[in-house]
Structure 1
């Protein structure tokens, strides 16, 4: 993680130096951005044999961008970001037969770490206000599930309950490394350099490798700030 952050910082410094060298002859500008993610996972339908409840999970994104004007009010903005996605989940499994039964409940947080490449087409409604839309390409770097398991067993008149905490790396062989989504958003520049940004990205591809189950997709709402070197 430290190496990744240092790499993004180096890239930001490189873009700043590139901007200084090219600003007199090129309209292209470079910048850095960072902010918060509120992410969740969605599935194609709810045909599960157990109850699953999902909530938004907090994460962050950070990286660099280049803004390339292509017309008077249009520009293309490719970005290179580190982005944390995933979800908070509660899964509940139950089985009962006669006087015997059990319930397993998992309350955990799934964090998926991606390097993402959004390519946004931006339209300036006002000189300082823009809207945007475009594809986002992602590469899964790592993942982790962390939470608690509660197991309750009923046998006749006897009831026993156990609790256990866990923290595990996700089995990468089960996950698709490539992720694809579509983003829409907006931004407002308070100054020539500093902007507030907001974007929603809806996942298109399944985060898991092909299987007979339902497709599970990443979705994320992002808010943050961007600083453009001028």
Structure 2
């Protein structure tokens, strides 16, 4: 993982030197993240659909133009991922919430499409690397009439800190303002202990972003 981050850094550094144009900006927005289906120990090995948790992201980015139409966008974000599950029936009434804070480094290739004098479209595809900073997992409620009220440290007790995956998205440029939507899918297993039933946790995240180019 460290080699991947170093390779990305060297690649971006070389592109800055050869770039025709470089622009910098800030971004922030909302996340809708998921860990998928995972049997978590805090729920006594019950199936948990760790999905649809709201979070946020914020950071700085740059657009590096290779020519007039093609370029690379790189960034460094603080982003909040995780998942949540809730069930309520005759023998279960519980909530489980996993919150994980990451430092994330995406790198994507984009194409600039001029729609009008002030409007541009930027479809993109790329990769990202992430490092876990902090987080918690909390479970409360009842399962089969047994009270549960437990909490774990996300990374010390449950997850591996390194994350890596692919990205795809599109942005609309209105002058210096960027409005974007994207999807991040992790390919590295999140949980430290691999499960035998092949329902391991993986980060996935839909994001809506507002940015400003200086």
- Aligned partners of 2:75, 2:125: CA distance in 1, in Å? 13
Equivalent position to 2:113, from 102, 125, 142 = 125
Query: Which has the larger Rg?
Result: 1
- Aligned partners of 1:28, 1:53: CA distance in 2, in Å? 42
Partner in structure 2 of residue 183 of structure 1: 167
Deviations, residues 112-150 of structure 1 (Å, cap 9, x unaligned): 110000001111122611100100100001111234221
Equivalent position to 2:97, from 105, 109, 130 = 109
SS of 1:172's equivalent in the other structure is helix
Deviations, residues 132-173 of structure 1 (Å, cap 9, x unaligned): 0100100001111234221444xxxxxxxx655455432525
SS of 1:207's equivalent in the other structure is coil
Query: Which residues of structure 2 form unaligned runs of 5+?
Result: 1-18, 40-44
- Aligned partners of 2:154, 2:173: CA distance in 1, in Å? 39
> In the TM superposition, what are the counterparts of 1:4-153 in structure 2 within 5 Å?
27-43=21-37, 50-90=46-86, 106-126=94-114, 128-153=120-145
> In the TM superposition, what are the counterparts of 1:161-172 in structure 2 within 5 Å?
163=147, 165-172=149-156
TM-score (normalizing by structure 2): 0.76
Aligned residues: 186
- Aligned partners of 1:51, 1:75: CA distance in 2, in Å? 43
- Aligned partners of 2:193, 2:150: CA distance in 1, in Å? 27
Query: Which residues of structure 1 form unaligned runs of 5+?
Result: 1-24, 93-102, 154-161
Runs of 4+ in 1 over 6 A off after TM superposition: none
